[in-house]
Amino acid sequence: MQVLEQAPALEEVGAGIQIPPNASKILAALGLEQEIAARAFRPQELETRMGQSGQQVFSIALNAKTLNHWGAAYYHIHRADYVAVLSAALQARAKDALVLNATFSHYQQTADAVVAHMTDGRQFLGDILIGADGLRSRVRQQILGPEQPRFTGNMAWRAVVPLTALDHPPPPNACVWMGPGRHAVTYHLAAGLVNFIGVVEGQDFVQEDWHTTGARHQAAADFADWHPIITGLIDKAEALHCWALYDRQTLSTWCDGRVVLLGDAAHPMLPFMAQGAAMAVEDGWALADCLAAQASHSPHAQQDIADTLRAFQNRRLPRTMAAQNASRRNMKTFHRSTVVSQLANYGPMWLGGKLAPHLVRRRLDWLYRYDETAVAIG
Ligand SMILES: Cc1cc2nc3c(=O)[nH]c(=O)nc-3n(C[C@H](O)[C@H](O)[C@H](O)COP(=O)(O)OP(=O)(O)OC[C@H]3O[C@@H](n4cnc5c(N)ncnc54)[C@H](O)[C@@H]3O)c2cc1C
């Protein structure tokens, strides 16, 4: 196995990420839970609030009962720590697997093998090629032809701020703050840090680059008259990164013979449900499971590889499509503009949370209780 990565180094990325139970149960099955838990923060609740007043709309306690019901822990972790845990696990299993400075250009396949060509002329031969190369996947482009991602008109402000710098720290929860045409997400990380994301509609900023920063006054204007927790985070952030949000058509084909897509390359997901990376983790398990089953049944039957990759695609399509659609719907839910539409949407949420909190929790079962490690091979 080789992991071909275009970057010259696995460098630190200055942002956090949520690992929901559907992903953390896979990390546990891989034996990585201890390493993740040692570097992660465990939120106490999932909650939504009104961005300006701070009024809570609903919350779900992430207590032992809820987490037992969903079958695994909920973590918040710095992306650099997540990458460190995963790359150490890769190193332990396959010492020289990671090849840096390897920019994929195109592939060629025969009945027996596939060759990945790099832009610098190097070639890597393998049984299968997995295109886990993100939103702008070149592997996807070769399978399906040119098709540009669609800019959603949303941009995200992102910052990591030390808790000690804040006069008004956010609650120790995964908290979505909703408002007209925008929303914010706050959560704690380990080591006394807070992660902030502020998504704003109607933008013409189109860059996707982890290193691009924006002006504080602009972020402050986007969230002017919001709750002091939000304005305080913007005020105290050392750097405010900006990231344009793109989407793509939902695909029904992820493979071509010995080549298959995985993660954002197959099903890019708006970050409105914290599920993009989680779905890529689920994909990884499912693909390994399908390949292991194929190897144990017919290790030499070449045609089986294409069938196996298609079986993986068919196993994952309905779930990833549902998550993509739910993420798109959340944008509308979080960004309600008029008082009437806010009342019509948030009123029932608030009432449901008060009268039947278990039903609110149950609405997330399809996402968090799902266990890819328990899926039976058909
Ligand atoms: C603001 C924001 C918040 C988010 N929050 C969450 C969250 O809380 N939880 C969650 O689960 N998800 C979250 N996501 C989504 C998550 O970040 C993505 O879904 C996830 O990173 C996708 O992983 P991937 O491996 O498929 O693609 P990527 O992370 O894009 O990785 C692709 C890799 O391929 C490499 N590559 C690309 N092209 C080539 C090439 N030609 N040759 C060689 N290498 C190449 C890239 O350098 C990169 O390392 C969030 C996203 C955003 C924007």
Closest to 280 measured CA to CA, from 23, 28, 21: 23
Ligand 1, atom 53, lies closest to the CA of 271
Query: What is the pLDDT, as a whole number, of residue 368?
Result: 97
Count the Cβ atoms, other than its own, within 10 Å of residue 144.
15
Task: Between 148 and 74, name the one with better pLDDT.
Answer: 74
Q: How confident is the model at residue 298 (pLDDT cuts 50, 70, 90)?
A: low
Evaluate whether 139 touches 256 at the Cβ level (below 8 Å).
no
pLDDT of res. 174: 97
Query: Over the Cα atoms of the chain, what is R_g?
Result: 21
Domains of the chain: 3-43+74-148+249-336 (3.50.50.60)
Q: What's the rounded Cα separation, in Å, for the pair 245 and 200?
A: 10
The band of 66, judged by pLDDT with boundaries at 50, 70 and 90, is very high
Distance between CA 372 and CA 275 in Å, rounded? 14
Q: Which residue owns the Cα nearest ligand 1 atom 28? A: 134
Q: What is the mean pLDDT of the chain?
A: 92
Residue 299 has pLDDT above 60, yes or no: no
Closest residue CA from atom 37 of ligand 1: 133
Is the pLDDT reported for residue 12 higher than 70? no
Token pair, residue 88, equals 């150490």
Give the catalytic positions in this structure: 187
Contact in structure between 32 and 18 (CB atoms under 8 Å)? no
Position 219 scores a pLDDT of 96
Task: Calculate mean pLDDT across residues 74-97.
Answer: 95
Give the mutation target among 98, 133, 203, 260 for probing the ligand 1 site: most ligand atoms within 8 A of CB: 133
Is the CB–ligand 1 distance for residue 214 below 6 Å? no
How does residue 346 score in pLDDT terms, banded at 50, 70 and 90? confident
For the chain, report the end-to-end CA distance as a whole number of angstroms: 26
> What is the 264 CA–ligand 1 centroid distance (Å)?
6
The pLDDT-based confidence of 301 (bands split at 50, 70, 90) is: low
pLDDT at 109 over 70: yes
